[in-house]
Amino acid sequence: MNCRVCKAGVSLWADRGDVALFRCARCHFISGEPREQLAARDRYQGYYYSASPPVPEARYQEWLTRAEVMVGRGHLLEVGAGSGGFVRVALARGWEVDATEVSESGLRALAETGARIFGGELPAAQYGDAQFDLVISLEVLEHLPTPREHLREMWRITRAGGALLLTTPNFGGLSRRCLGIRWRVIDPEHLCYFTPSTLARIVRQVGYGSVHVTSRSLDVLSWRRGKGPAGARAFDPDTSAMVRERIESHRALRVGRLVVNRILQLTDLGDSLLVWARR
């Protein structure tokens, strides 16, 4: 295969059996290649369920408050909106909301939100140029075979002065450095693995300016050895939500989380990357 970003030659970084990772000789990007190829609709057919874990509403409120300072309260698009946790919070704040999603289970949940929904990949929606004040993509970019083209499309539909907010796992984070191929984020469904520098470079290359990339969070639940390939531990959304709720309800734990996140931001060692950018 070739690099999923710059199309240059790659060399094998690691092979876990179910997925192999390749490092680009030119731009150093890490591309994933699963053993079994599945279309997006087949891969995510039952991805979301009616009994979804609680959404991180406080985090979403914080992000939307920042977005409103930047661009006002206007028209947003969430790309890959899942079961609609962020969509519901945005609608309640008074945003006009569009959303895309590929999974049937996610689309069924989104249909109940009242937002305008498109079932399919972003380019197929054919949104107009400069249509949105804010474009959001949360934990989606790592799933896409052509991330640069996807980001270019998001840039096209963002208005001048509008903003981009996206999150994706950090391949340079502490958990990956410690766990290597056992890191739970290394998965056949993930085709792209970003570091702060590779992500910032791509976002700038497609046309966004004022790009700000930070790292946050530590996925300590994945550090115990699991039953997956090479001992990888599967993500448990219910346990993760329970831990998050416990931290939010305890003042000392909240303060501790803020301190840890600040250290992770300063060192770029957080397990998740958060991007704010302006067009």
Parse the chain into domains and list their residue ranges.
Answer: 44-278
Q: What is the pLDDT of residue 237?
A: 61
84: tokens are 């609609």
- Predicted model pTM: 0.88
Q: Is the pLDDT of residue 263 over 50?
A: yes
Give how far the C-alpha of residue 173 lies from the chain's centroid of Cα atoms, to the nearest Å.
Answer: 15
List beta partners, residue 131. Answer: none
Mean pLDDT of the chain: 90
pLDDT at 48: 57
Integer Cα distance of 185 and 177 in angstroms: 12
Residue 64 three-state SS: helix
Which segment of 7-21, 86-100, 153-167, 251-265 scores lowest on mean pLDDT? 251-265
Q: What is the pLDDT of residue 258?
A: 80
Which pairs from 3-7 meet CB under 8 Å and 24+ separation?
3/27, 3/29, 3/31, 4/29, 4/31, 4/145, 4/146, 4/147, 4/191, 4/192, 5/29, 5/31, 5/147, 5/148, 5/192, 5/198, 5/202
DSSP character for 207?
A: T
Query: With 80 as the cut, is the pLDDT of residue 227 above it?
Result: no
Q: How many CA atoms lie within 13 A of 158 on its CB side?
A: 27
Q: What percent of the chain has pLDDT over 90?
A: 73
Please indicate whether residue 273 or residue 225 has the higher confidence score (pLDDT). 273
Give the pLDDT score at 50.
Answer: 46
| Confidence band for 51, pLDDT divided at 50, 70 and 90 | very low
| Model pLDDT, residue 274 | 98
Q: Quick one: pLDDT at residue 265?
A: 84
Distance CA 250, CA 47 (A): 31
Contacts 24+ apart (CB under 8 A), 91-95: 91/115, 93/61, 93/64, 93/68, 95/64, 95/134
pLDDT, position 44: 58
- Confidence check: pLDDT of 75 > 90: yes
Residue with the bigger pLDDT between 26 and 264: it is 26
Compute the distance between CA of residue 14 and CA of residue 22 in angstroms, rounded to an integer.
7
Pick the CATH number of 44-278 from 3.40.50.150, 3.40.190.10, 3.20.20.70, 3.40.710.10: 3.40.50.150
Six token digits for residue 119: 């079932």
Q: What distance in Å separates the CA atoms of residue 200 and residue 62, rounded to the nearest whole number?
A: 22
What value does the mean pLDDT take over residues 41-49? 55
Q: Which of 198, 70, 186 is nearest to 136 (CA)?
A: 70
In the predicted structure, residue 185 carries a pLDDT above the cut 50: yes
When pLDDT is averaged across residues 29-35 and rounded to a whole number, the result is: 96
